[in-house]
Structure 1
Amino acid sequence: MRINVINNIISVVINVLSPLIVLPLLTAQLGLDGYGEYVKTLAFMSMLIIFFDLGFGMYIPKLISSSRSKNLASVFYSFFYIKLFTLPIIIFISYIVYNSEIVIFLLVSLYLIFMNLNLTPIMSGLEKYKELTILTLVCKVILVLLVIITDFSYLGVEKAIAIQVVSQALFFIFCLNSTKKIWLEFKSISMTDLFELLKSSLGYYFSKLIVNLYQQSSALFVSWFLNNQLVAIYSIAIQIYKIGQSIIGAVAKVLFTNLVKNHKYSNLKLATEYSFFAYFLFSPIVFLMTDDIMKLFFEFDVKLLSEMLRYLYVSLAFVIVSSYYGYPALAPINKDKYAHYGVIISSIIYVIVFLMLIKFEYIYLVGFISCIIFSDMIGMIVRLYYYNKFKHIIKENDKSIALNYK
């Protein structure tokens, strides 16, 4: 498990750090206004991908990791066919939004095709974390190099999106090659198979829908109320926050597949201890040196950005607990629906706080950041409640305890 955790963390760090490397380049060449426009387009595309994820991002890894999944080719083709069926809808929605900008529409459509068919859930279920790390590194290095050599003075936003398309296309092709042993074993799939997979994954879908929307597409929502420059600052803060969030998520993903497979809850305790050790180790740097660090990367005034980052770092403590004691802790004992509740309730809190800000006209960056903080905190409380409620069942299923008795 430890090797899988390390590989998954490296993969996620590469995936998240690459935008931070290109952020200074893009903000310098596009300006905050242009970068804000680019971010809104990315947020729109993320929103569509989330709407049509259908819960596969969480359910497919569990299905493949568990003993219930006997036929990998059937899972692969069921997943792939359902995703193909959703593509016309996704492209049609893109056309409605960007029909007056044909170049943007074509680029957005290509990006959405490759993202919608992303095979990461299959790779994660197979625990191919090392290969994912290598593939991610290669694609992100290419992305960074393309940003460095590209002149964004003309059609800057279009070129930035085109680079994202190239990166996602390469990642899809590499993943397809990595899973060829599965899809070469072609299996005919019935409509019953498709509906069964879809039905089983919908619990994950609806529980994660709102939280995924505000985490991945909140820049789009914020853009309805703030100018492009503030949207750009908000987006940069969220992107940096996602580094911590994604590292935590990487550990949680490996815990999830590992605990479903092995039921060794001692790994959950170790992951929590190491994560909080790292959290407190980096705290002085975040709270004392953020201004100085941000000035090294950005030419604009970073005071507001640094303030947002300090608030968001506090929220990461809530994310650690919520991520580990939700699906990784509850799915192995078939209490997935209670993990769903944590996500659903935290999502409702986000929406309530967001609407209150609009109602009372508190249209400031710190207000929108507070939506995330309150949501993360409530999610942590709910998941801890259910973890403690089912602790006796967890102890009965904990194989690490059984090993100690032996």
Structure 2
Amino acid sequence: MDASTLKRLSGNAGALLAIQLANALLPLVLAPYLTRVLGRDGYGAFAFGAALIQFAAIITDYGFGISAVYQISRARGHRERIRRIAGAVLLVKLALFALVSVAVIGYVMTTDHVPGGSVYIILLLISILGLTLQPVWLFQALEKMASVTIYIVASRLAFVLLVLLFCRSADDLPLVAVLNGTGYLFAALAGLYVMRGRGLAPRWPGLKRTRVIAGASTEYFWSRIAVVSYGAGATIFLGVFGTASQVAIFSVAEQFYRGAIAIYSPVTQAIYPYMARSRDIALFRKIFVGAFFVAVLGVAFGIICGPMLISMIFGEGYQESYPVLVVFLLALLAAIPSILLGYPFLGALGQAKVANRSVFLAGFVQVLALGAIYFLGVGSALTVVIAVLLAESSALIWRARAAYPYLKA
């Protein structure tokens, strides 16, 4: 790998890291304030809303965060082809947003137990629309992430600052939803503006071509749904069948887990288009070993310092989150290598179906575990996180078996 390639790869990874830090770690910075201002039940409702946004964003993404990146990275230098891909992607995403909106409104109209209240849940649609429209997939494929990173990071910073300035009690939960959604919409509109300025405005590709582009993403979509079943799905399960208090306990521990995943995500996102082109297995081995070593150190630190970190960051009312945190840290040791072996490695080597099937397996394991928890009546933050650990471990085992012949070659 020459110096220019390394510079481009590291620059793209740096931009993606900035976005992940803004999307995942800034809420962690905000969490100490929200746990105190909103109270345990209010914070649980906030976490439930965040999980709904994540779940809905997976639906509206439809796997284009993987398939469109691959298609556009292979079409670099062909402007009109890229514009047509972008047009198909945005059309499908908007259609899915319409379906999600109907589902959310139907949920609040037919359910008596709605964490945070009906108004709060409906206001979450603003955030979902903003995430639907963000063209991160385009700039990631072109390895030009710096073009939109500043807008996304600025919008997240503004959200945090405005919440600190204007949210004073649990009654301000709907305002949090409005501020969050406004930030996502600003970042989306800025990204679309930059996209147009680069001569890449979406172009209608025709219904037949749209179906082809969407069809190429369908398997990725179902794999993402499987992923969210043992991610946001766990929080949603607790919110629907448990209490807001249990959601809060679960979410406090999950913040550390998601923060760690967010740090690694830019590495996987940045190397995927590079691996799709070069298939540099030697470089991947080095990245894999280094990433796992850092994960082990982080897990050891979290187990030792967990009680102190929870009290210091979230307050004294969340010590019940420590056992949940320990299980999350164990799940992290499975999740990090599993993520690296997935689409950045197996997917780039033409084995995307293997990676997808591992996710289906993990989702199936999670659904079975949550079903058992429900029927046994033992639903709690701790039992749900054990289900997450089982799901992550099953995905790792599947992917490791498939990747081993390539890694040892």
Q: TM-score, normalised by structure 1?
A: 0.89
CA contact (8 A) 2:238 2:247 kept: yes
Residue number among 59, 66, 84 corresponding to 2:74 in the alignment: 66
CA shift, 1:118, in A, is: 2.3
Map residues 57-206 of structure 1 onto 2, 5 A cutoff: 57-67=65-75, 70=78, 71-99=81-109, 103-104=119-120, 107-153=123-169, 155-181=171-197, 185=201, 187-206=203-222
- Larger mean CA deviation between 178-187 and 367-376 belongs to 178-187
* Letter matched to residue 348 of structure 1: F
Map residues 6-405 of structure 1 onto 2, 5 A cutoff: 6-67=14-75, 70=78, 71-99=81-109, 103-104=119-120, 107-153=123-169, 155-181=171-197, 185=201, 187-389=203-405
CA contact (8 A) 2:40 2:244 kept: yes
* Letter matched to residue 396 of structure 2: M
Partner Cα distance (1:51, 1:252) in 2: 21
CA contact (8 A) 1:291 1:302 kept: no
CA contact (8 A) 2:130 2:186 kept: no
* Letter matched to residue 346 of structure 2: L
Partner Cα distance (1:12, 1:186) in 2: 25
Alpha carbons of structure 1 residues 322 and 132: separation in structure 2 relative to 1, 3 Å:
farther
Unaligned runs of 5+ in 2: 1-8, 111-116
Per-residue CA deviations over 1:348-367 (Å, capped at 9, x if unaligned) read 11111221222333323221
Alpha carbons of structure 1 residues 219 and 198: separation in structure 2 relative to 1, 3 Å:
same
Partner Cα distance (1:148, 1:373) in 2: 34
Per-residue CA deviations over 1:71-108 (Å, capped at 9, x if unaligned) read 21111111111222233322222222335977446523
CA shift, 1:215, in A, is: 1.0
Please name the residue that 1:401 is paired with.
none
Per-residue CA deviations over 1:171-220 (Å, capped at 9, x if unaligned) read 11221122124565563421011100111000111122121233124211
* Letter matched to residue 281 of structure 1: L
Partner Cα distance (1:105, 1:23) in 2: 19
- Larger mean CA deviation between 18-27 and 61-70 belongs to 61-70
Per-residue CA deviations over 1:222-242 (Å, capped at 9, x if unaligned) read 123322112111112222211
Partner Cα distance (1:177, 1:54) in 2: 23
CA contact (8 A) 2:167 2:176 kept: no
Per-residue CA deviations over 1:320-345 (Å, capped at 9, x if unaligned) read 21111121112233221111111111
Per-residue CA deviations over 1:256-308 (Å, capped at 9, x if unaligned) read 11100222122211211221232233334212111112221222333221222
Please name the residue that 1:403 is paired with.
none
CA contact (8 A) 2:51 2:233 kept: yes
CA shift, 1:68, in A, is: 8.1
Please name the residue that 2:113 is paired with.
none
Alpha carbons of structure 1 residues 188 and 359: separation in structure 2 relative to 1, 3 Å:
closer
CA contact (8 A) 2:12 2:143 kept: yes
Please name the residue that 2:3 is paired with.
none
Report the 3-state secondary structure (helix = DSSP H, G, I; strand = E; otherwise coil) of the residue aligned with 1:371.
helix
* Letter matched to residue 76 of structure 1: A
Report the 3-state secondary structure (helix = DSSP H, G, I; strand = E; otherwise coil) of the residue aligned with 2:378.
coil
CA contact (8 A) 2:12 2:140 kept: no
Partner Cα distance (2:285, 2:335) in 1: 15
CA contact (8 A) 1:33 1:232 kept: yes
Partner Cα distance (2:101, 2:299) in 1: 43
Give every structure 1 segment of 4 or more consecutive aligned residues whose post-TM-superposition deviation is greater than 4 Å: 99-103, 182-186, 389-392
Alignment coverage as a number of residue pairs = 393
* Letter matched to residue 90 of structure 2: F
CA contact (8 A) 1:80 1:117 kept: yes
Alpha carbons of structure 1 residues 185 and 227: separation in structure 2 relative to 1, 3 Å:
closer
Alpha carbons of structure 1 residues 217 and 171: separation in structure 2 relative to 1, 3 Å:
farther
Alpha carbons of structure 1 residues 253 and 372: separation in structure 2 relative to 1, 3 Å:
same
CA contact (8 A) 1:295 1:302 kept: yes
* Letter matched to residue 89 of structure 1: L
Partner Cα distance (2:128, 2:38) in 1: 23
